[in-house]
Every structure is written in C-alpha cells, then in structure tokens.
Amino acid sequence: MTEVEITLNRAIPKSLAVLSNEVGNEAISILHYLREHKESIFALLPHWSDEVLALLDEVERKEPLLETMHEPVELPAEKKSYRLFPFLTLIFASFSLLFLYHITK
C-alpha cells in the first residue's frame, strides 16, 4: 500500500464519524451538509487540492489543466523586388544590339 492509501484509510473513517455525529447517518443529510458548507471546506484545503479535485470533477475548472498547443504559423517570405534585374536586362539588350550591329557590318 502506498502512503496515500494509508492516509486515506485512516482519515475517511474519522471524517465519517465526525459527520455522523454532526448530521446523522443518512447519506442524503451528509451530502446536504457538505454542499451547504462547500465554501468553508474548500477554504481550508491546500492550494494544490484544486487540481486533484478537478480530476475527480468536484471543482469547477477555471482554466484548462493543459494548455492547447498551437502550431506556429509560417508566413510566406516577402518577395523581394529585384531592382538589379531591369539594369541587367538593359545591359544585355544593349550588348546584343552591338553584337548584331557588328555582324551586319
């Protein structure tokens, strides 16, 4: 047995005995008593108990236990305007014209 089981096995009978003395042995009256004093009971619990009780659906979850993972969105790279391209085209065209001029001579 683990330490948690041992602790719970010791605590549960004592807790039920106190509740039985306080409100009686009927399960409905015990549940009504616990629901009526829910705020004060939760105020006495340690801060980590919310996570444990949330797994048992005993506490309203204020936020999800696990954050949803969003895949990073890759933005397409901006197209660079090639300012050098028109000049190279102009130089190529001029050399082509010069070559054609020399051939025809």
For residue 66, being part of any structural domain is answered with: no
Range of the domain at 49: 3-55
One DSSP character per residue, 3-66 reads HHHHHHHHHHHHHHHHHHHHH-S-HHHHHHHHHHTHHHHHHHS-TTHHHHHHHTT-S--SS-SS
Task: Give the model confidence (pLDDT) of 5-25 as tens digits.
Answer: 888 788 889 988 888 898 888
Min mean pLDDT across 12-16, 37-41, 50-54, 74-78 is at: 50-54
Which pair of structure tokens corresponds to residue 8?
Answer: 């719970």
**Which pLDDT value is given to residue 70?**
76
For residue 69, being part of any structural domain is answered with: no
- Of residues 80 and 44, the one with the higher pLDDT is 44
Single-letter residue type at 43: A
For residue 101, being part of any structural domain is answered with: no
For residue 95, being part of any structural domain is answered with: no
- Mean of the per-residue pLDDT values of the chain: 81
Which pair of structure tokens corresponds to residue 46?
Answer: 């340690």
Single-letter residue type at 100: L
What contacts 19, CB < 8 A, 6 or more positions away?
Answer: 30, 33, 34
**pTM, entire model:** 0.44
For residue 16, being part of any structural domain is answered with: yes
* Mean predicted confidence (pLDDT) in 34-40: 88
